[in-house]
Amino acid sequence: MPGDDGIVSEFAKRYWLLILSVVGLIAGLGAWAAGNDSVADAAWAATTVLTLVPVTIDILRQLIRRRAGVDVIALLAMGGALALGEYLTGAVIALMVATGIALEEYAEARASRELSSLLRRAPRTAVRVDGDTLTTVPIEEVQAGDILVVRDSDVVPVDGIVAEGVAVLDESALTGESRLVERGMGERVASGVVNAGSPFHIRATATAEASTYAGIIRLVRSAQESKAPLVRLADRYAMYFLPLTLVVAGGAWLFAGTPERALAVVVVATPCPLLLAAPIAIVSGVSRSARRGIVVKGGGAIEVLARARAVYMDKTGTLTAGAPVVDRVAVFGAASEPEILRLAASLDQLSSHVMAASLVRAARDQGLALVIPTGVSERPGAGIEGTVDGRRVRLGKFAWLNAEGEVSDAVRRFRRGILREGGSTVFVEVDGDLAGAFVLQDPIRPEAPRAIRALKRAGIDEVVMVTGDHPTIADAVGAALGVDHVLAGLTPEEKVDAVGRSKQRRVTVMVGDGINDAPALAAADVGVAMGARGATSSSEAADVVLMVDRLDRLPVALTIAQRTRAIAVESMVVGMSLSVVAMGFAAFGYLPPVAGAILQEGIDVVAILSALRALGGGRDGRIQARMPADLAEELRREHLRFIPALEQLRSLADRIEDMSAGEASAAMQSVNEFLTGDVVPHEREDERVLYPRLAVLLKGDEPLAAMSRTHQEIFHLARQFQSLHEELPSTGPDREDLADVRRVLYALHAVLRLNVAQEEELFLSLDDEYLTRGRSPVVEGVAPGPG
């Protein structure tokens, strides 16, 4: 069969030296058994020379590069066997070296198969919609803006957005996540993922070369081609082992008075454990990283990463989401928050400003009906104005909207508060009156605090946040994250200087995602880029690329690197320790050359099998408790529903003093209905149903006791507010009542946000894929300012 012939041919091409060594050794044994010693010696000598030649060439190449590894011992052993007429010993050594090379080839092929599979499945063509026809075109011809059809089981050819239908995607090849992901109209789809549902249409947003999958393939090729650093760890040990071998062999020769004794020592010292254990372990670690959505560009990076003691992180896009979200809405007039958001988002549909999409997305998330504005004009750097449903709406900076007018006490208090908190604001004017403002924040990634704690547990001494942001905003984010130091207001050049100073004291990792991070990534001992967008300079400059846009992959990469390096060292130490013991027996004449060569073969197998442990997960590979998928999805929906309502508590506390008695009573009635009809029943249901289910997945007698205590505080504050509302006089709240109302509202807002953050942490610990289905903008009680 042609297929079988191809397999045989590939096997012979890869393992030709091993095949010829086996044939030569067996032929010699056959001639020796037949009594033809001269033919046997010739066969064994030819086998030795056949292996000796490529080993000599490789050593000469190393010497040209001013490197001499432990394979010099193998050369001395085979050369000595030929010189002393120990042809059988030479053939056994040759077989041992050929076997070691073959095992390295096999282990490397096994370890890198996940990386190679990315290259094999790269799409070559795309189905483009040309009018009323579908045309299959080479992927190189696809341009941004083309409409493409992604059929069932097809690999998405280029980055794009869903233009028609619903995409059900298998993203495991890129992210390592096993669950299917659903993308609706207008949502982004990365190239390289597989359509696991019905056909759908995408509008290409990039060419194939500039898409995610092409970028990953470039990184994979870089990782596979980076071979030289793999042996650096072994070479450091070789500096000591090679002289030791020569000293012991020379001493044995002098002690016994025969060169055969020295040959026996050199034979058992042939350093296959050093030659093979380090590269096999490190390539296995690279492969394991790839399975977790982490591309490591070669063994040198994983080896250095294992010794990291400091991590420097950019803020925007790395520790934060990198895209602003509407944190809360401030109301200054009679219009309600939903109405202000609807008017502003309708107008912003025609704006090109970076914050416009955030307002539109917030309105759509709340199910508000947007209309197309008319008479729209946009003033760059100031704002936008137009007519929405017959009302004149202006949206932008405070100075532009209120160039000459007076402002109310509520507006002044709001602006003072924003100066203290940080964040971006967009003011709204409706029919000439300042109606409200939006506070936009760049939220902390929900997994970021957890990732930082995991780095500390993994042995990182210092985590530093570097950013170009104002120190006030940067310090607030750093405090929420728990980093050790914050370096704010830095230019890209100053980031490079900061990383350089750290490198002088310890191995330093830099993590970033933007173009301005590329110089610092290149300057660090190990640069780590967030995401694998094909053309980004940060991915090109980095040594490690997190293909999954999640920071918690960083401690995973560090743990894998540390385990890989430990296994490489253990495998080498075990192999070389056995070799040293055998050298002692050989030096005193208890181990002849042939027996020593056979024993060394067994030592090689032990070292290589030990190195292959790096493919497994160790403690990380144990089966862990996981949250059921339906439960995780239900919790995500609940959080996304609650968060906008929580911000209304703070908004009411900010402006209740400026309301009339009737407005304040109505607002308090609405909040009371929300607390008694929604929040309290929800939290009691959590206590009754959810927490018992989660407690089964956790260890300890009362693993959720602290969260239950938070619930009790929520119930207590809700009861206080209910009492305040019930005891209000018919004329509405007086000044003393307002002080108590504001106190309880602020407390409720803080405790409820803390409860959401606690549950996010719990969900992350039980469901590694929780974030792939959605992200809450609240974590650790802080939503930091934009970067």
Nearest to 191 by CA among 223, 225, 165, 218: 218
- Radius of gyration over alpha carbons of the chain, in Å? 34
Instruction: Measure the CA dihedral 538/540/545/547, to 10°.
Output: 90
Burial grade of 195 (CB within 10 A; 0-12, 13-18, 19 or more): buried
Distance CA 295, CA 539 (A): 10
Task: Give the list of residues 6+ apart from residue 371 with CB closer than 8 angstroms, or none.
Answer: 346, 388, 389
Distance CA 343, CA 386 (A): 10
Task: Give the list of residues 6+ apart from residue 285 with CB closer than 8 angstroms, or none.
Answer: 296, 302, 560, 561, 563, 564, 565, 567, 614
- For 474-542, the DSSP string reads HHHHHHHHT-SEEE-S--HHHHHHHHHHHHTTS-EEEEE-SGGGHHHHHHSSEEEEES--TT-HHHHH-
Q: Is-catalytic flag, 701?
A: no
Q: What is the 3-state secondary structure (H, E, C) of 667-702?
A: HHHHHHHHHHHHHHHHHHHHHHHHHHHHHHHCCCCC
Per the CB < 8 A criterion, the answer to whether 392 and 430 are in contact is yes
Per the CB < 8 A criterion, the answer to whether 384 and 353 are in contact is yes
Distance CA 87, CA 40 (A): 9
Task: Find the length of the chain.
Answer: 787
- Distance of CA 461 to CAs 352, 457, 526, Å? 43, 9, 16
Query: Which own/partner pairs from 404-410 qualify as long-range (CB within 8 Å, at least 24 positions apart)?
Result: 405/434, 407/434, 408/332, 408/434, 408/658, 409/658, 410/332, 410/654, 410/655, 410/658
Burial grade of 463 (CB within 10 A; 0-12, 13-18, 19 or more): buried
Task: Give the list of residues 6+ apart from residue 550 with CB closer than 8 angstroms, or none.
Answer: 445, 447, 771
Q: Phi then psi for 508, rounded to 5 degrees?
A: -125, 135
Query: Of all helices (H) and strands (E), which one includes residue 718?
Result: helix 705-726
**Positive/negative CA dihedral, 379, 382, 386, 392:** negative
Residue with tokens 């669950």: 179
- Distance of CA 368 to CAs 258, 339, 344, 722, Å? 94, 9, 11, 30
Distance CA 664, CA 189 (A): 46
Residue with tokens 């296995």: 284
- β-partners of residue 530 are 546
Which candidate in 71, 314, 543, 604 is catalytic? 314
Tokens standing for residue 43: 């066969």
* Residues labelled catalytic: 314
